[in-house]
Amino acid sequence: MGIGRVILSIIFPPLAVLDKGCGSIIIVTILTFLGWIPGVIAALVILNNPNR
């Protein structure tokens, strides 16, 4: 996870997980619409997971 991805996940979380699959994008988008902070947290968790 690079510094660019971290900044992107803070500014626009769904765009940061674009290459992680459709399910991740949908989850992060829904959480971002419900509140910006849950979307950022979900994006950072998904980006930090080495299994994806």
Residue 9 burial by Cβ neighbours in a 10 Å radius (0-12, 13-18, 19+): buried
Q: What's the confidence (pLDDT) of residue 50?
A: 80
Q: Is the pTM of this model over 0.85?
A: yes
pLDDT, block means (10 residues), the chain with 52 residues: 89 92 93 94 91 71
Q: What's the confidence (pLDDT) of residue 31?
A: 95
Q: What's the confidence (pLDDT) of residue 52?
A: 63
Q: What's the confidence (pLDDT) of residue 39?
A: 94
Per DSSP, the chain holds a count of helices (H) and strands (E) of: 4, 0
Q: 26: closest CA among 3, 42, 37, 11?
A: 42
Between the alpha carbon of residue 26 and those of residues 2, 3, 45, 50, the distances in Å are: 22, 23, 15, 20
